[in-house]
Amino acid sequence: MKDITYSVRIYKTEVRRNKSGKATSYRVLWQLAGTPWKRPFKREAQADAYRSALVTAARNGEPFSLTTGEPLSWNRPDREEMSWYAFACKFADMKWKAASAKYRQDIARALTAATPALIDGKRGKPADRELRTAMRRWAFNTKQRDDAPDDMAAVLRWLEANTRPVSALADTETVRAVLDTATSRIDGKRAAASTAQRNKTILQTALDYAVELKLLERNPIRNLKWKVPKTTHEVDRRSVVNHTQARALLAAVGKQPRSGPRLVAFFAVMYYAGLRPEEAANLRDHNVTLPALVKNEETGELQAPENDWGEIHFAVAAPFAGREWTDDGALREQRGLKHRPDGHTRVVPCPPPLTEILRTHLDERGTGPDGRLFWGEQGGDLPPITYRRAWNKARRAVFTDQEYASPLARRVYDLRHACVSTWLNAGVPATQVAEWAGHSVEVLLRIYAKCIVGQDEAARRRISQALED
């Protein structure tokens, strides 16, 4: 068996001391076929007993496991063995039913990032890119795994036969290597802070599940010293457009051939009403209430009322996930509002400029399938690539080269940030803005702290007045 050895060397117990010289722990050290192993104990008697047991087993000629580091006879009857690949698939399957389509993708990405650190074998190894594709698209996708094409199925069979057992993660160095790999990019550099934190959280949850299955005694990640990457959720003030810039961008979108005119209202509901892209993409005609036009007594023509405010009310969003990740094979998954329980409804005011844009959109284009306001050229869901391409062209047409290269409205989502910033700077109470935006007040102020302008000048005036008194 390749996972056992008779080459064993056991060393003297190492005593760990603090600065005052007091013993704090005791480490039993031994070596198997040139590979070092260690196990810490808080009490000297525990360390001596464990070391004596190792010495006895070695003197009796027992084989030692290269996976656990202990004599093969010590394998506990309640401890099962499972390869990392088989376990990762089982974990993905366990999470599949309750997870959103986007979170299913996150799980697959995290497991794909971690697995290379647990591959044990080079003979016949597929190319790294093939391994990543096979894992991300097929292995860790419950819906797709059994339908993998022949070439990908062969890669998955190789993975199944060449990943280490989950029990290998009981070793601190191994689990640290797995965590470092999971939180790094393909080139070895640290991944973005949000990605690193997300992958670490998913991996930690997976190992909790391994404990539940009795594949591990405890979750080794929870006691691992690991520096949490710093993340910021604050909106960069440089990304927020003003009203003049926003109107110029909407006009530039409307001039684009084919999809452009249909997307003006799509971008407008984000800028004027603060909707997220997945919320705007799912709007139906019954979600929008516009005031009725009134008849001009002099001309007899219908015109907008003086107080031309409408309302947008909705309870469902449709984030884009891809057909292979949704239960029904749709491009978008129907979900409740972000960070809100199912059935929660949000009502947002529709100011006169947006009312006019929506009224024009409905008059000229009507509604698409199921009464939706925005749809793709083929009549289905609006693809993100369509509106991202249109937005990029609008930025190129309106901005200077320097502005185009800057963060200014670089993402479609920045329109929502501009809307919420406008509400706050207009003096709308934070409680009201939080309700319209679908945030808690605490989260709202943390995210948009840098976008509230004018407060520092007002504070200086108050301080000056106080000092003059």
Domains: count for the chain: 3
Residue with tokens 């309750």: 98
Pair 193, 334 in one domain: no
- Residue 8: in which H helix or E strand, if any? strand 8-10
Q: Over the stretch 411-436, which tens digit does the pLDDT of each residue have?
A: 999 999 999 988 888 888 889 998 99
Same domain, 34 and 161: no
> Quick check: 267 and 391 in contact, CB under 8 A?
yes
Least confident of 123-127, 234-238, 261-265: 234-238
5: which residues sit within 8 A by CB, 6+ positions away? 32, 33, 63, 64, 66
Asked whether residue 93 is domain-assigned, the answer is: yes
| Spatial contact of 381 and 330, defined as CB atoms under 8 Å apart | yes
62 and 137 part of one domain:
no
Query: Are 60 and 102 within one domain?
Result: no
Domain CATH number, residue 293:
1.10.443
Question: What's the confidence (pLDDT) of residue 334?
Answer: 81
Backbone angles phi, psi at 335, to 5 degrees: -135, 160
Instruction: Specify which residues 313 forms β-bridges with.
Output: 347
pTM greater than the 0.75 cutoff? no
Describe the chain by its helix, strand, coil percentages, rounded to 5: 50, 15, 40
Domain final position from 397, 421, 438:
397
Higher pLDDT, 241 or 380: 241
Q: Does 264 share its domain with 326?
A: yes
- Mean pLDDT of the residues in the chain: 87
The residues pairing with 17 across neighbouring beta strands, listed in sequence order, are 23
* 208 and 106 belong to one structural domain: yes
Cβ-count burial of 197 within 10 angstroms (0-12 exposed, 13-18 middle, 19+ buried)?
middle
187 and 132 belong to one structural domain: yes
- Taking alpha carbons only, the member of 63, 80, 81, 51 closest to residue 8 is 63
Q: Are 30 and 37 in contact (CB under 8 A)?
A: yes
- Tell me, what amino acid is at 286? H
What does the chain come to in residues?
469
pLDDT of residue 198: 93
Residue type, 300: G
> 184 and 278 in one domain?
no
pLDDT over 50 at 1, yes or no: no
Alpha-carbon distance 137 to 324, whole Å?
A: 8
Cβ atoms of 187 and 178 within 8 Å: the answer is no
Domain containing residue 381: 245-397
pLDDT for residue 223 is more than 60 = yes
User: Biggest alpha carbon distance in the chain?
Assistant: 110
